Each structure stands twice: as C-alpha cells, then as structure tokens.
A and B are shown apart, each in its own frame.
Chain A
C-alpha cells in the first residue's frame, strides 16, 4: 500500500512550518511521528495534497519543569515520555499512559502532539490529560493561544484546532506522592486501543479522607468524559476499597457510547464500572503506600 502522491516539505524551523501550514490550509497536513497519519494515507483514508513534515525541527521535544508546571514539547515521543525521569517522579500517570501505547516501535516514533491532534477516542493520553487539567499551547503563523484539554476534544477525530494551527506544547501541573493516581485500559490484546480507558487522580487529607477526585474515561464516548457521579461519591469519604467499590458503582455511560466489532455499547457499560473500581483501588494503594 502506497500513499497518493503529495508535495513534501520538511522545514527546519517552526515558523517555516507554520507559514507553510497557513499557505496550504485544508490541503496541508502536519506529519509528526506519522504513526497514525501514514497508515491512513496508505489506506487512502487521507490523501493530503501537501505534507509538512516536522521531523527536522529541533527543540520541540523537551520535557521540563518550571514553577511546578511541566512543559512537554509536542514532538516528544511516547518513548521519551515513558523514559522521562522528570515525569516518573513529578507526573507518573503520564509516563505510565505513554508506556502502554501500541508497541515499542510505535512509541519510538509517535509523539504526544500527534496523538492529541489525532483525537482518537480510544487513545491513551486524552482521559489522562483531561483529568490533569492539562493545557495545550496552540500556534499558527498569526499567533498563539492556550486551550484547556477539556475544551480541546470536540468529537471523534475532531479537535478545536484550525487547519492553520499546530499544538506546540502540553502543560500539566506537577504532583508528588501526596496524589494517588492510575491510568489503565481494558483492551482486547496488549497492543490494542482501549475498549475502556480510565484516568484517576485522588487527593486526601492527613486522615485519608478524599478532598478531590478526578475520574475521566476514554473510549466510551467521542470525547473523554468526566465521571462526575463517581467523583462526588468519593469526596468527603475515607479512601477505602469499600468506598472505591461504592463510588465505582455510580459509573454511568452516556448514549453516545460506541459499538464496534470489538465491544458493543452494552459490553462497555458492563465493564466500565469494573475498570473504574480497579483503577480507584490502584490509586488508593499508591496513596497509602506513600505513608509507609
């Protein structure tokens, strides 16, 4: 399978890339790792007239912390997130989410910016980034804006990005051992996309009474969905496995739950509470381990 012919551009700077993207508009497509775009082009599901390849632009792949905020360049690969010592200690949920994307070969090339822009409902990062309250820096030749993760995902494969815009940076708040966390997904085979993805962040007071809960599901709707009922059920309760089970039972999927050959909506609705309970338990275990 060979993609349709296209005009190929591999600019050396971000500004050049943004100028090209502005010029080509709907006819142009950025290529980051190519791990979603190139398969689509080979299947002729996408046939962009122009490819603006980002592979020769330096410096957009760093992972740094300043003033409690972690800034991840959009071209950072899944592998570099997975291996990042900074993320492992200051935002381990993102390192874990990166580590279970596809397989080693895909993680060597695929980027966080590409995954975000691709907006596959079953992708790993999206529920995690919504739970973290991440913000995405979006740039065009005209200027820059910052979009909250919760406002970024619009529909299946649809985002708030305009054709002339590129995600350049992902910003999340760092956290330490005071936060209980988990990212997990139920999938058919190890390297497959999530049938249900779960991101959990829990905060508690000194007596392990929950003060804040963020519980977001992926793959059960066109965009990541916050399980407000579960969150409300947790806050104010001591974080025990009984509390986790009780809160997880409140998990409710909406009427946009997808059905496909791998799992119909009824199956997803059945397993989602189980995934939530297990993720809550893992997060609680991490949190209680901090006291030891």
Chain B
C-alpha cells in the first residue's frame, strides 16, 4: 500500500502522497522533489555518489527506502549553501580544485559533512579513512583531501563566506 510521507528536506517541510514502499530515497529526492544534486553512481551501495544526511548522519540514499524518511530530516547538497553563500566544504572543493567531472562531488561533500561533525580537525589519514565509502574516478583524491582540510580550517575560524 502506498503511503503519504512527511519529511523535512533541507529545512523545508515536504508532504508527498502515494509513495510506493519500494521507492528508494534517492529516487524520491531526485524524481519527486526534483533535487537532482544527489547522484546515482553504482546503484549498489559502493560509490557513495548518492550520499545524503539522514538526521545528520551520512547514508547512501540508494540503499534506504524512502518511506523510512517519514518523520525524519534529510539534507542534500542543495541544502548546504546559506543565503547564497557556499558552505565551507563547497567552497573548499572549489578553492582546492577538488573535482574534475564533478559527478562524485555532492556525495563526497555530504560524507565530509558527517566526518567533520564527528571530527572537526581530522588528520589526512582520518580524512582518507572517513571518506572510504566514496569513489572518484577523476581526481586521484589528493585535492579532495585538501578541500576537506581547507573546509576544516575555515570552519574552525568560523568563517563561511570566502568565495
């Protein structure tokens, strides 16, 4: 039986009717809410391109049923910028050239959000380990690490407007 699900996505309340229980969270976000910043890469829980925050914790939205989000909060990459100012992680990826094709980037940024909330000053090794659930086929990861370090430093200084 299809369900009506109430969620808070990027701070905004959303009520969606007629959601099939087998619908995956990533399709709900992309096809229902038109939040296409969340990508589908492998569709098999490996690449992390579909990572979003579920109640503040990074999850792979290709491996969560959308009906589970009922009564919960979801944050996607679209929810990070505030009043037109990029989040330090977004700015960090720009500043340190942390992307090439950009397909993996939203997933990396959301996974890094969770990482920095647990560990605001990670070492390089901790960043590499913390982002092991995300794959990038372009960059070779070095600049992704630098982007996260840049964001950590700027978050520590309490700045968020540096674009």
Which residues of chain A have a CB within 8 Å of any CB of chain B? 1-8, 10, 31, 34-35, 38-39, 42-43, 51, 53, 55, 79, 102-106, 108-109, 190-191
Contacts and interface: CB of A to CB of B under 8 A. Distances in A.
Contacts of B45: 35, 38-39, 106
B161 interface: no
B65 to A, nearest CB: 7
Given A4-B22, A6-B21, A55-B68, A34 B63 contact: yes
Contacts of A109: 59, 63-64
A196 B143 CA distance: 33
Contacts of B54: 108
30 contacts: A2-B24, A2-B27, A3-B22, A4-B22, A5-B22, A8-B67, A34-B64, A35-B45, A38-B45, A38-B64, A38-B65, A39-B44, A39-B45, A39-B63, A42-B24, A42-B43, A42-B44, A42-B62, A42-B63, A53-B67, A55-B68, A79-B57, A103-B48, A103-B133, A104-B58, A104-B114, A104-B115, A106-B45, A108-B58, A109-B59
Interface in B26-73: 27, 43-45, 48, 51, 54, 57-60, 62-65, 67-68
Nearest to A55: B68
B129 interface: yes
Nearest to A5: B22
A238 to B, nearest CB: 35
Contact of B111 (A7, A55, A104): A104
B51 A105 contact: yes
B132 interface: yes
Interface residues of B, number: 33
A51 B114 contact: no
B120 interface: no
Contacts of B68: 10, 53, 55
B63 A8 contact: no
B132 A103 contact: yes
A34 B62 CA distance: 11
A191 B111 CA distance: 15
A191 B65 contact: no
Given A4-B22, A8-B67, 4 more contacts: A38-B64, A102-B133, A103-B132, A104-B133
A106 B65 contact: no
Nearest to B107: A105
Interface string B102-122: 000000000100110000000
A1 B43 contact: yes
Contacts of A108: 54, 57-59, 114
Contacts of B130: 104
The 3 closest A-B pairs by CB, nearest first: A103-B133, A8-B21, A108-B57
A106 B133 contact: yes
B1 A8 contact: yes
Interface string B4-22: 0000000000000000111
A105 B134 CA distance: 9
A38 B62 CA distance: 9
Contacts of A55: 68
B132 to A, nearest CB: 5
Contacts of A34: 63-65
Nearest to B46: A191
A105 B21 contact: no
Contacts of A8: 1, 3, 21, 65, 67
Contacts of A38: 45, 63-65
Contact of B133 (A53, A79, A191): A191
Contacts of A43: 44
